[in-house]
Copies of this chain bind each other. A is one copy, B any other.
Amino acid sequence: MTDEIHCPDCKRINEVLSRVGDRWSVLVVISLARYGTMRFNEIKKNLGISQRMLSLTLKQLERDGLVNRNQYPTIPPKVEYSLTKMGESFREPVSALGYWALDHLAEIDAARAAYDKSD
């Protein structure tokens, strides 16, 4: 292969994946897809994610239009998160990736062990 190799879409794909392709975003989307509406502490407990990282992840997902944040004027204030319509459409490719990961966990572990042994 020569100079004419190029990936015209790579820069743009990269741009979006850098926003939505990180693993915490993936797991928050899978959780909201599975459980519907969730409160901050429910997601936090569900994923075992730190307060700071979840706060950051939710803000990014909200900014990208994937997650709705609904605040209710109760005492104490109640804040719930759910997927937007675009978030719902993100669910399918994201779940496929998550399930692929689950299906191949053992095979990856075996590959790693073999690789480390050959060092």
Contact = CB atoms under 8 A, between A and B. Distances in A.
Interface string A1-34: 1000111011111111111111100110011001
A35 B5 contact: yes
A19 to B, nearest CB: 7
Nearest to A59: B115
Give the interface residue-count category, chain A.
Answer: 35 or more
B1 A42 contact: yes
Contact of A13 (B1, B35, B63, B101): B101
Interface of A: 1, 5-7, 9-23, 26-27, 30-31, 34-35, 38-39, 42, 45-48, 62-66, 86, 89-90, 92-94, 96-102, 104-105, 107-108, 110-112, 114-116
